[in-house]
Amino acid sequence: MNERQRTEYLSALGVTSYMPRFCLPLAPDPVQALLPPPVDAPQEAPRGVSAVMAAAGVVTEAPVVADQAAQTGMDPSPSYDQQVSDVGRVIGSITAESRVSASAPKATPVAPPQRQVAPFVLSSWRLGDELLAVDSREPGVALPVESLFGNIARALDWHGLESERNKLRWPLAENPFAAAAGAEDAKDTCTSWLEAACARKPVKSIWLMGVPAQEFCAPVAMTDAVGDWEGVRVVFMPSLTELLEAPARKREVWNMLRRLYPEQTRR
């Protein structure tokens, strides 16, 4: 196949040929392409199919077929419709061989929107290697939660242990131009925060106090108020704010602590 035939085949298939006007950097030396041999001008083919018929070899062979038909007394060359049909079959076969089967596009599943979470604050207290308490607080609520937690620690005789305080605000950063943080983001952040705190200094018990702490910080799925996470006791309790707003719930919490820590509450 010479260069002209190659170009006509590509044009018939709808492929655009590109040839740079100058030698590109780092390109190999140009080589003269094979050109067709000089022949007499062929008969003018019907407009619109000359390139296709020439590529298929129909036009160049038509005069030879006509001369043979005249000498043998046979009918002349096929009609125009027949030629177009033959060319269509040739181009169709070429297209079928060169066509790349495109796989059907896969539908990308769209994740449902995350449930939005109201801002909250988590306050944590660490008492030696005994306890890591995480309390849920609402921003802007001023209640003596520190005094109440100190009384609980004194009742368990943990007030003399080395203590450490920390705080986590959600969302981590207020950005009016970004999408609001959802429940899944809060779960990932708070759970990672709790696991990192326990990995740094292991404890025997974890108290998750209030709905935000229980929903977003629980390291395991909880089906009861008390669970186990790799040998660490996890306890669900009301938040200190709830205990201050509803003092009658203190008895419920104290009875649960006496059942879980009989030695510390023996007095």
Look up the pTM and report it.
0.56
* 167 and 230, same domain (yes or no): yes
239 and 126 together in one domain: yes
pLDDT per position in the chain (267 positions), as tens? 677 787 887 888 878 777 777 788 788 887 777 777 766 555 554 444 455 445 445 444 444 444 555 555 555 555 555 655 665 666 666 556 555 544 555 666 665 666 788 888 899 999 999 999 999 987 777 789 999 999 999 999 998 999 999 999 888 766 555 555 688 888 999 999 999 999 999 999 999 999 999 999 999 988 899 999 999 999 999 999 999 999 999 999 999 999 999 998 876
- Residue 101 within any structural domain of the chain: no
Distance from C-alpha of 173 to C-alpha of 198, rounded to nearest angstrom:
24
Q: How many domains does the chain have?
A: 2
Please check whether residue 166 lies inside any domain of the structure.
Answer: yes
Q: Does residue 134 sit in the same domain as residue 188? A: yes
220-227 contacts: CB < 8 A, separation 24 or more? 225/256, 226/260
- Domain coverage including residue 21: 3-93
Q: Beta strand pairing status for 131-137 and 205-209? A: parallel
